[in-house]
Copies of this chain bind each other. A is one copy, B any other.
Amino acid sequence: MKQLLIQNERLSRQIDFLIEIDRLKHVLRRTYLPGSDRHENSAEHSWHLALAALVLAEHSAAPVDVGHVLRLALVHDIVEIDAGDTFFYDATGGLDKAEREQRAADRLYGLLPPDQAAELRALWDEFEDRATPEAQLAYALDRFMPLLHNYLTEGRPWRQHGVGHEQVAAMTDHIAGGAAEVAALARALVADAQARGYFDPARNESNGA
């Protein structure tokens, strides 16, 4: 990216970081947007996840500071700029995911002034560790939102990547820890998807509507 020659060193680093993370808008996920042939990107997904946290926070298993959940949602995928998006059901890509993402976090958050680098890196670590109620809710919704998208697009990514009903049903356990009522809905969606044939490899491709 362009050198903006800002005299204020601190502001300069902050702007460099904001310019660099623009690239998250080009990181494509496996999900499709309902009613279109376009894949979702990780920046717009992060916005949608933050909105989900704002609207669904009352279903959290434990009381949460909503503003803090929003911070976790906003930063949770920034490492994908370097590390790429790893599909939840991709066992091979999952093997070196942690190492790739740690390197990415070092470089990307390292663009910021040191105090902010530490602050945003700590948010990402918190999301990954899932030890706080806020991280548990953010993680649960990060599992729920692609399920909702995949259901609305009639399971297209599941069939494209050979993901079976049992795998998605098992995944809903990750939602239950953060938001039981949302997990119950997720299970209903998986059961209905199965009944409608969304996991059937022989099904014609369609995007839903």
Contact = CB atoms under 8 A, between A and B. Distances in A.
A94 to B, nearest CB: 25
A171 to B, nearest CB: 18
A71 B55 CA distance: 11
Interface in A56-79: 56, 59, 65-68, 70-71, 74-75
Copies in the complex: 2
B44 A33 contact: no
Contacts of A26: 33, 36
Contacts of A19: 34, 148, 152
A51 B148 contact: no
Contacts of A52: 18
Interface in A6-43: 6, 8, 11, 14-15, 17-19, 21-22, 24-26, 33-34, 36, 40-41, 43
Q: How extensive is the interface on chain A, given as a class?
A: 35 or more
Contact of A70 (B48, B71, B112, B145): B71
Question: What secondary structure prevails in chain A residues at the interface with B?
Answer: helix
A11 B59 contact: yes
A170 interface: no
A25 B44 contact: yes
A1 interface: yes
A74 B46 CA distance: 10
A21 B51 CA distance: 9
Interface string A88-123: 000000000000000000000000100010001000
Pairs of residues from A and B, 7 with the lowest C-beta to C-beta distance, nearest first: A67-B67, A47-B47, A43-B44, A44-B44, A25-B44, A70-B70, A43-B47
18 contacts: A1-B34, A2-B208, A8-B185, A11-B56, A11-B185, A17-B55, A18-B51, A18-B55, A19-B148, A19-B152, A21-B48, A26-B36, A41-B44, A50-B70, A65-B67, A67-B67, A67-B70, A70-B71
Given A19-B34, A44-B47, 5 more contacts: A1-B152, A2-B209, A11-B181, A18-B48, A43-B48
